Amino acid sequence: MPRLNPEHTEKLIELINQSPYFQLLNMSLQEVDEGYCKVEMQLERKHLNAFGGIHGGAYASLMDTAAYWALYADLEEADGFTTLDLTSNNLRAIETGTLVAEGRVIKRGRSICLCEADIHDEQGRLMAHCISKQLVGPTLQPISAATATLGSAPLPPKFLDR
């Protein structure tokens, strides 16, 4: 596998953190590497349900994001991908603080990939876990679509060894 270009990763993180959905949910992509991703979310009142705990959709969005970007470095430069499904297990409620989600690739297939993500609170307690399937293909959300949508210049080459 070719080595990921650190300059590409840095620009990717800057780009994705500008996306409207990330800003809406106070999510921040922190790290992207081969088979791994780290995303943080600062909880605010807007993340809470009517009962005062985190809304399950906020957990699902954070885990979907971590599982999704964990796969990014494992794919060819021109490949795009999208989430097919996500099975979420919400294990504990929370009202305030910072959540950290870590995504990992479990199995890389040609067109279907299996990923997972965990969310931990600031004390390291497991808050939620998910399994996610990703569909890979050249027309499914390639990174060039994100640069165009967000008005960014093309990213540096994804890999160093090419």
pLDDT over 70 at 162, yes or no: no
Give the Cα separation of 15 and 112 in Å (integer): 26
pTM of structure: 0.96
Listed in order, strand segments (DSSP E) in the chain are 27-33, 36-42, 80-90, 98-108, 112-120, 126-137
pLDDT tens-place string over residues 97-153: 999 999 999 999 999 999 999 999 999 999 999 999 999 999 999 999 999 999 999
Q: What is the mean pLDDT of residues 33-47?
A: 98
- 2 band by pLDDT with thresholds 50, 70 and 90: confident
The arrangement of secondary structure in 6-149, i.e. its CATH architecture, is Roll (3.10)
Q: How far is the C-alpha of 80 from the C-alpha of 57, rounded, in Å?
A: 24
